[in-house]
Amino acid sequence: MQIHFSDIKNNTEINTYIRQADASMCAMGYTEHAFAHVTRSAEMASRLLTELGYDERTVELARIAGYMHDIGNVVNRDDHAHSGALMAFRILDKLGMPPEEVAMVITAIGNHDEHTAHPVNAVAAALILADKSDVRRSRVRNHDTIRFDIHDRVNYAVEHSDLVLNAGAKTVTLTIHIDIDICPVMDYFEIFTTRMLLCRKAAAFFGLTFQLHINDAVIM
pLDDT over 80 (residue 28): yes
pLDDT score for 187: 86
pLDDT score for 81: 97
Instruction: Give the model's confidence band at 146: pLDDT under 50 very low, under 70 low, under 90 confident, else very high.
Output: very low
3-state secondary structure of 128: helix
Are 127 and 48 spatial neighbours (Cβ–Cβ below 8 Å)? no
Residue 31, by phi and psi: left (phi above 0), alpha (psi -120 to 50) or beta?
A: beta
- Residue 176 phi/psi, 5-degree rounding, is -130, 140
Q: Which residues pair with 213 in a beta bridge?
A: 175, 218
Residues 6+ apart with CB under 8 A from 161: 133, 134, 135, 136, 174, 175, 176, 177
pLDDT over 60 (residue 162): yes
Instruction: Kindly report, residue by residue over 188-202, the tens digit of the pLDDT.
Output: 888 889 999 999 999
Residue 51, by phi and psi: left (phi above 0), alpha (psi -120 to 50) or beta?
A: alpha
d(CA 42, CA 65): 7
pTM of the model: 0.95
What DSSP letter does each residue of 86-106 carry, written as one string? HHHHHHHHHHT--HHHHHHHH
Are 119 and 128 spatial neighbours (Cβ–Cβ below 8 Å)? yes
Above pLDDT 70, what percent of the chain? 98
